[in-house]
Amino acid sequence: MDDSLKKFFYIFGIIAAVYLLFRYIIPILFKVLGWVVGTLFTILLWVIIAVMIVAAVGYIIQLFKK
């Protein structure tokens, strides 16, 4: 092949790879990241609720013991 034709296909391949990266791969990564962060936030919220319930029950038990 001619060097200019090789260069053209090389540049075309880079442009295609960048297009695919921005069109498909980056949005999928953001969706996965959003799902992970949302799941972690939900788990953290339930853990905080459970700790507050246990603390409230412990406080009420201490009040009745006095």
Domain ranges of the chain: 16-66
pTM above 0.75, yes or no: no
DSSP structure string for 1-64: --HHHHHHHHHHHHHHHHHHIIIIIHHHHHHHHHHHHHHHHHHHHHHHHHHHHHHHHHHHHHHH
More confident residue, 66 or 10: 10
Amino acid found at 49: I
Quick one: pLDDT at residue 33? 97
Quick one: pLDDT at residue 3? 86
Per-residue model confidence as pLDDT tens digits over 23-65: 999 999 999 999 999 999 999 999 999 999 999 999 999 999 8
Per-residue model confidence as pLDDT tens digits over 4-18: 889 999 999 999 999
